[in-house]
Structure 1
């Protein structure tokens, strides 16, 4: 599969390890770039959205696709609300519910989850048994963001611990956003 867009990878809390699908995609597609954060363990939303914005403006924003996982999905929504940049689109995978009791402590400024229509096309990929977000909340986020919702069934947090390595189905969804 070939991509002509500038793809920016946005991991969630703790970053994505070497066997996470985001990292594997970066190995397979050397042009995909990870947005680095200064603090992966105790993040501050304002810092994370500044890093996203810098990465986007360093590219041609109209040709940027964002690939967010977990906390990065809410971060992308906060970024979109703050900067209103027109990008090609965003793939939002397992959007963590930062308002849920099950959400890990140590983050600053990521709640409440912004509920408004994103100014770009997006796809939310959700699981029916994700510990960090109920399917109902993921559907609420998708509806508020104006995103297409893709429910992939019992897939946990769609990460290595849930058995997701390279995840070719995710690449196909990303390709849909590029079209």
Structure 2
């Protein structure tokens, strides 16, 4: 694939937005063509506003895109797809999606707050592009079997990344080199399907 055809990677952060020592931030610093969905100034818990922010970034990009979503960024991505936006998405890496349909730990939104802000139910339709779901065996925001069910419904390849917590700085990530390996795999998969 030549540089002109290489996709732009769009980083889709979770509800805590951009975090300096997050693996998504480290990954973005290594990539030649990358955009990050910016943080919201208001309506931070609004699913509609989050999906609109992703759509706005995608509308500004010419050519193919690979999505790299973490946590609620995965929920943003599947809600965006459910709204049937037409866009050339080459592939997606979906890391540690939360289970918004089960109670989250203290300090996170409640099921009632999530429902009131449009997050529930979580879309489970087949994604129209190749995807990998990276799941942690000890994620405090989702049991592994629930993430496996989501991956199956989305048609994603499930990758067990071991006991990685929520794959964030609080869990010791910083850099996550496996993200680059999974992106390379997605690139090869997309090339064979394209």
Q: Compute the TM-score of the two structures, normalised by the length of structure 2.
A: 0.84
Deviations 1:93-138 (A, max 9, x none): 0001111111621541111111110111110000000000110110
8 Å CA contact retained: 2:7, 2:33: no
Change (3 A) 1:28 1:40: farther
8 Å CA contact retained: 1:53, 1:83: no
Question: What runs of 5+ residues in structure 1 fail to find an aligned partner?
Answer: none
RMSD: 2.0
Partner of 2:192: none
Q: Kindly report which structure 2 residues correspond to 1:127-166, keeping only aligned pairs within 5 A, or say none.
A: 127-166=136-175
8 Å CA contact retained: 1:84, 1:119: no
Q: Secondary structure at the match of 1:53?
A: helix
The separation in 1 between residues aligned to 2:20 and 2:7, in whole angstroms, is 23
Question: What runs of 5+ residues in structure 2 fail to find an aligned partner?
Answer: 189-194
Larger radius of gyration: 2
Q: Kindly report which structure 2 residues correspond to 1:55-134, keeping only aligned pairs within 5 A, or say none.
A: 55-60=57-62, 63-85=64-86, 86-102=88-104, 104-105=108-109, 107=114, 108-134=117-143
The separation in 2 between residues aligned to 1:121 and 1:56, in whole angstroms, is 18
**Matched residues, number:** 177
CA deviation after TM superposition for structure 1 residue 39, in Å: 4.3
